[in-house]
A and B are shown apart, each in its own frame.
Chain A
Amino acid sequence: MTIEWQPLAGDRIVIDDLERLSFQVDRRAYTDDDLAALEMTRIFDRCWLYVGHESEVPAPGSYVARDVGGRPVVMVRGSDGVIRVLANSCPHRGALICSQPAGQTRSFRCPYHDWTFSNQGDLVGVPLPDGYGPGFRKADFGLARHRSDSYRGFVFVTFDPEQPRTLTEYLAGATEYLDLIDDQSEVGMEVIQGAQLHGARANWKLMMENSVDIYHFRALHKRYVGYIESLGSVSPRRRGGFGRALGLGHAANELTPAAARPLAYWTPMFPAEVRSRIEATAARFVDRFGAERAERITGTNRALLIFPNVMIIDAIGITIRKIDPVSATRMAITSVALAPKDEDPDIRELRKSHYLTFLGPAGFATPDDIEIIESCQRGYLNRTVRYSDLSRGMNKEIPETTDELPAREFWRQWDRLMHGDDGHFEVAHRGEMVAHRAETVAHRGEMVAHRAETVAHRGETVAHRAETVAHRAEMQGAEPR
């Protein structure tokens, strides 16, 4: 087998031309098996990777078993209350020591030879121990403990023993957005049970790009846009907002809500009977955080890309989407919903209902995303067309959400890591980021003004909504709710 691409030989996959305002990605990045293998060692073996949320292991002994960066691991809260990420592989001969996806236990027993481990990973039982000499020490055969840490309840792991950054340093500007998400409850956020486990026959990076691409919304998601507009929503064009680089490949889009937010942003899309409760929550947030920050927490949508492979989308609901490469042309997707632990039961139902309308393999939007990225993957079979273009917004000081800044940030970090380089570039880049942040702060002022306009616009659509509800009722021969 010949390796066609030599990553260090000057054959650029990512062509970032700041003079021509052109950003192109060689499509081999989505199709080449050697590049996919190299991603595992240069990206997934080195970065901090999202494992899960602390609420998924609420009590001593609670665990979840899942694959992270291609490796089977168990995230478990030990009897001592500490959350650890352990290798799900027996140090004896390798079998999975945990074959249940989730549960609660004091110990893990390898089914192969009955070696038993505490829920903190220590080897506590070996059958027929007289088969080992005096040099055999149980302490040498515990489950491998990976370096893990959490930020505001989000647990990450790194498999790189030389990873120089703490988790907080690694997350860079993304912490600001994790704060905005975790601040949505005083008692903490929780993952709602019931994961949406699916995948796509496409390169994993296509789903990362898709998750931060708002440009495609009106075209590909006509049916969902039509649906929410009939309920009183406002199109992204009118909503404004901006894309933002957060450093180290992380990026975010931030924009005024399309529809409503179950936490504390009521619009006629939600039933009238929950209005006072939702608005009371909004008022509590103003008391707690002050008007400006409360508005940002409760009244703004955001999509956060944490490099390399997790997206947190905080809109009509909050979804955590973990995207795992399986091969160059296959990926696995795990999506869960995050919500305040202390949520009113009616509002929780509303949240779940609207979440399902949009998100997941059977929602009104995600199936089309899956189909279109698989379509892109098929299109790459025509190798005459060598590059994909991600230049939108390079001509603007502050890219809009319909631009491609977050995808470019992802690819720039991908390119640095694939070249084994994330040192010197970062210093220069941070200068850019500071300038950019100053701009976005100014821009946020504009957004608030813009929001006032959209609220007025929403007033108009309320009337429209009443008509469509009446119309729907006629269609069904039922009374409107």
Chain B
Amino acid sequence: MTTVLTVDEAAPVRLWHRVSQFLFREARLLDEWRLREWYDEMLTDDIRYSVPATDVRGEKADALGLIDDDAARLRQRIEQLLNGEVWCENPRSRTNRMISNVEIVTDRGTHLDVAANVVVYRFGHGRSDAYVGKYRFELVVEGESLRVRRRVVVLDHETLYEHGKLSIIL
């Protein structure tokens, strides 16, 4: 009796496709301002969302950044954005997220480290801005579904002089 070892060569492609589709769906929900759906369906309960400062860019663990939200503060950010009290997002910005270079950096079975490049175009109050950066996500694999546990957006800009502010979720 012989044992045949089969290698499923399509498995990495399927995983990559699944991760890409996940990121594209996330982008679409954010672009469509379906922020509660995004929060409820795509993030873990211990989500941490951060945007490091543009000078030290997350190289220093103890540095101050631009955003460092735990789940409660991210939820607060979302509720504020949706209830119309955020003057700079009322009327809401129009946004368009372009995601590319999706790469599964490490596959630890239940956890995936994913890298991607992102450009978020934002239009509102007579202004147009582009935020250019890198996604560094930790995804948790739960059966057939994925959720984001760590969501870091490293901006490539030297400063936000042109933008002035960052009032949307990147």
Q: Which residues of A contact B (CB under 8 A)?
A: 101, 192-201, 220, 222-223, 226-227, 332, 336-337, 348, 352-353, 355-357, 360-362, 364, 366-368, 370-372, 374-375, 378, 472, 475-478
Which chain B positions have C-beta within 8 A of A367? 86, 88, 164-167
Q: What is the CB-to-nearest-CB distance from B77 to chain A, in angstroms, rounded to a whole number?
A: 7
> How many whole Å from A9's CB to the nearest CB in chain B?
36
A208 to chain B, nearest CB (A): 16
Residues of B within 8 A of A227 (CB): 76, 80
B62, B86, B164: the one contacting A361 at CB < 8 Å is B164
Asked if B87 and A196 make an inter-chain contact with CB atoms under 8 angstroms apart, the answer reads: no
Seed contacts A332-B161, A371-B88; 18 additional CB < 8 Å A-B pairs: A193-B60, A194-B64, A197-B160, A198-B160, A199-B164, A201-B164, A222-B85, A223-B83, A223-B86, A332-B159, A361-B165, A361-B166, A364-B80, A367-B166, A368-B87, A370-B164, A372-B87, A476-B72
Enumerate chain A residues within 8 angstroms of B88, measured Cβ to Cβ.
367-368, 370-371
Beta-carbon nearest neighbor of A330 in chain B: B161
Q: Contact check, A193 vs B73: say whether CB atoms are below 8 A apart.
A: no
Scoring B residues 80 to 93 as 1 if CB is less than 8 Å from chain A, else 0, what string do you get?
Answer: 10010111100000
Q: How far is the CA of A150 from the CA of B70 in the complex (A)?
A: 39
Please tell me which stretch of B6-14, B48-56, B103-111, B138-146 contacts chain A, meaning at least 4 of its Cβ atoms lie within 8 angstroms of it.
Answer: B48-56
Quick one: given A199-B160, A199-B161, are A478 and B166 in contact (CB under 8 Å)?
Answer: no
Q: Which residues of B contact A201 (CB under 8 A)?
A: 127, 164
Q: Which of A332, A352, A368 contacts B86 (CB 8 A)?
A: A368
Question: B71's contact among A357, A364, A476, by CB below 8 Å, is which?
Answer: A476
Minimum distance in angstroms from A229 CB to a CB of chain B? 13
In the complex with contacts A194-B60, A367-B88, A371-B125, A199-B159 CB distance below 8 A: yes
Question: Which residues from A are CB-within-8-Å of B64?
Answer: 192-194, 196, 336-337, 352, 355-356
Q: Given A197-B158, A476-B72, do A362 and B87 touch, yes or no (CB 8 Å)?
A: no
- Classify the secondary structure of B's interface with A: loop
Closest 9 pairs between A and B when the two form their complex, measured CB to CB: A194-B63, A371-B88, A197-B159, A194-B64, A194-B53, A367-B165, A199-B161, A362-B166, A198-B160
For residue A275, give the distance in angstroms from its CB to the closest CB of chain B.
20
Is B80 within 8 A of A366, CB to CB? no
Binding site for A on B (CB under 8 A): 45, 51-56, 60, 62-68, 71-73, 75-77, 80, 83, 85-88, 125-127, 158-167
B71 touches A198 (CB 8 A): no
**In the complex, chain A residues whose CB is within 8 Å of the CB of B56:** 193-194
A184 vs chain B, min Cβ distance (A)? 17
CA distance A374 to B127 in the complex (A): 10
B66 near A362 with CB under 8 A, answer: yes
A336 to B54, CA, bound (A): 12
Interface contact A378-B126, CB-CB below 8 Å: yes
Residues of B within 8 A of A101 (CB): 55
CB distance from B148 to the nearest CB of A (A): 15
Docked CA distance A472–B13 (Å): 40
Q: Which residues does chain A contribute within 8 Å of B45, judged by CB atoms?
A: 476-478
A299 to chain B, nearest CB (A): 24
Q: What are 18 pairs between A and B in contact, CB < 8 Å? A: A195-B53, A197-B54, A197-B159, A201-B127, A223-B86, A336-B64, A356-B65, A361-B66, A362-B67, A364-B77, A364-B80, A368-B87, A371-B165, A371-B167, A372-B87, A476-B45, A476-B72, A478-B45
Which of A194, A348, A364 is most buried by chain B, counting CB atoms within 10 A of its CB? A194
Query: In the complex, what residue of chain B is closest to A372 when comparing beta carbons?
Result: B87
Cα separation A357 to B158 with both chains bound (whole Å): 22
